[in-house]
């Protein structure tokens, strides 16, 4: 009897041990004799060869550190400067000084350039102008889209922020009309290659605006497609002007309906994040920039580095919020209202292993324009892939500098230099680091550190040029840590 109790007790102990250890009591590793084996050939868990990839706990830890560190910076900002957010001052930029209104007039005047380009294309389609005259007039008008606002801004010297918005609108209009004229020229070249009878038949159908049944081109849903020169009507052009794309097509993909809930969510994000951008810029970015100017003037290198690192966090945070606000919220609002079907405004640029991959994924509309109207024509003309890519970067560098130097009424080439520096950085990522994780690290570093350096250089030069640094204009940023 006692023996059975003893055996039952031993069995319960073995079950308990098995439950605690989680392994069978008959496992040879658990035997307490000379044959016991506790060790085997295996790598440490963090070794890349183990295949272990569950770092969720470390990611949570990093996120907590990020939140705590930035909370400390936000609290430090409030203690030093108090609440600087003033919504009234945002609007005073427009109504305080009549010399700031020319930026609004400049933006409205873009309609004149659109109409002039349209009428030249219509005249060309009707045979009133030769191809050479049409091409010359269109190139002059495109050039005027960049020269005219630059002259006005430098003569009137309006508020830099309003001028920057106006120059951005003119740059977008320049690329849109460039695409519009190119596509119509390609359509004319294609028509010349068609047999004369077929071309004459198509011209008669399009002139009468009543294509013959069974001969009109249709899309996948059976809807008739617009063909040249039937696309040359003012509504077709203005739809393209306001559409969230830079590349013209005769027939854009259209969504079947407007999704009201989706539209209201994106509109709410536009309003909310727009105010967040203005508030964070006024509360966090401006004081940090103003307190960073003096070390640059005194050429105190240690303080310069410290200020760049301090500015990097708010600057990068605002850049990320701006990316979501513009490329996801604002462009989707525009696309939804117009039922514009192609909503690929960005790809997973945050995973880019090189600068080339980043620039081709973070701004899809510009990338498509550069590839279609700059890169591909250069390749077709016999240029190498590397030479064409360098030209694209140089054109991009020019427009980055154009959008900063003209509104500030000064030329310093910091933005141009930063963009040109992307070329060797891109080659370094591709051919030395071969992309991957280290290429992604270089990409993030260039974004986090490159932008604040350029911003500080422009602010420093602008304040010096306008005599604002000596007069103590930076009163909102008096406390210096």
Planar angle of CA 431, 432, 435, nearest 5 degrees: 75
List the catalytic residue out of 19, 328, 367, 400.
400
How far apart, in whole angstroms, are the C-alpha atoms of residue 332 and residue 263?
8
Using alpha carbons, select from 340, 344, 345 the residue that is nearest to residue 258. 340
Helices (H), 157-256: 160-193, 196-208, 234-242
Pair 361, 352: CB distance under 8 Å: yes
Choose among 457, 427, 454, 303: nearest CA to 357. 427
Distance CA 36, CA 59 (A): 38
Among residues 350, 351, 349, the alpha carbon closest in space to that of 360 is found at 349
Q: Which two tokens stand for residue 448?
A: 């986090």
Task: Give the three-state DSSP class for 417.
Answer: helix
In angstroms, what CA-CA distances link 147 with 140, 142, 276? Answer: 10, 9, 34
* 223 tagged catalytic: no
Measured between alpha carbons, how far is residue 393 from residues 49, 62, 359, 360, 431 in Å? 39, 35, 9, 11, 18
For 218, phi and psi rounded to 5 degrees? -130, 160
Read off the tokens for 21.
């250890």
Report the interhelical angle of 160-193 vs 196-208 (nearest 10°): 130
The rounded distance, in Å, linking the Cα atoms of 63 and 340 is: 37
Query: Which positions are annotated as active-site residues?
Result: 400
């Amino acid at each position: 009897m006692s023996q059975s109790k003893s055996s039952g007790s031993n069995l319960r102990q073995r079950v308990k041990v098995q439950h605690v250890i989680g392994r069978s009591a008959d496992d040879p590793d658990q035997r307490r004799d000379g044959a016991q084996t506790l060790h085997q050939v295996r790598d440490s868990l963090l070794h890349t060869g183990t295949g272990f990839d569950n770092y969720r706990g470390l990611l949570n830890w990093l996120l907590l550190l990020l939140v705590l560190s930035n909370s400390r910076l936000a609290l430090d900002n409030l203690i030093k400067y108090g609440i600087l957010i003033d919504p009234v001052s945002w609007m005073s930029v427009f109504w305080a000084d009549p010399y700031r209104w020319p930026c609004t007039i400049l933006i409205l005047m873009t309609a004149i350039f659109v109409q002039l380009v349209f009428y030249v294309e219509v005249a060309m389609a009707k045979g009133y102008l030769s191809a050479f005259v049409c091409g010359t007039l269109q190139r002059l008008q495109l050039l005027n889209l960049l020269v005219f606002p630059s002259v006005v801004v430098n003569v009137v010297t309006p508020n830099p922020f309003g001028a920057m918005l106006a120059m951005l609108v003119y740059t977008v209009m320049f690329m849109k009309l460039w695409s519009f004229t190119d596509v119509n020229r390609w359509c004319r070249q294609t028509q010349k290659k068609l047999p004369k009878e077929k071309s004459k038949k198509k011209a008669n159908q399009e002139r009468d605006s009543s294509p013959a049944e069974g001969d009109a081109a249709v899309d996948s849903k059976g809807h008739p497609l617009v063909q040249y020169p039937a696309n040359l009507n003012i509504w077709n052009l203005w739809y393209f002007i306001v559409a969230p794309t830079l590349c013209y097509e005769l027939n854009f993909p259209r969504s079947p309906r407007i999704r009201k809930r989706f539209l209201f969510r994106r509109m709410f994000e536009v309003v909310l994040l727009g105010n967040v951008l203005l508030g964070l810029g006024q509360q966090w970015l401006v004081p940090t920039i103003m307190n960073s100017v003096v070390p640059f003037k005194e050429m105190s290198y240690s303080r310069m580095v410290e200020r760049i690192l301090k500015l990097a966090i708010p600057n990068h945070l605002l850049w990320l919020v701006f990316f979501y606000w513009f490329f996801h919220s604002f462009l989707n609002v525009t696309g939804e209202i117009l039922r514009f079907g192609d909503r690929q405004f960005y790809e997973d640029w945050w995973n880019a292993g090189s600068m080339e991959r980043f620039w081709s994924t973070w701004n899809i509309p510009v990338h498509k324009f550069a590839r279609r109207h700059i890169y591909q024509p250069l390749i077709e003309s016999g240029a190498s892939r590397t030479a064409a890519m360098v030209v694209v970067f140089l054109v991009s560098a020019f427009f980055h500098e154009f959008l900063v130097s003209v509104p500030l009424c000064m030329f310093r080439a910091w933005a141009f230099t930063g963009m040109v520096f992307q070329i060797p950085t891109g080659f370094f990522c591709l051919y030395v680091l071969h992309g991957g994780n280290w290429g992604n690290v270089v990409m993030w570093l260039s974004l986090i550190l490159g932008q604040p350096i350029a911003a500080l250089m422009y602010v420093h030069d602008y304040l010096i040029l306008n005599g604002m640094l000596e007069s103590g204009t930076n009163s909102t940023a008096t406390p210096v840590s």
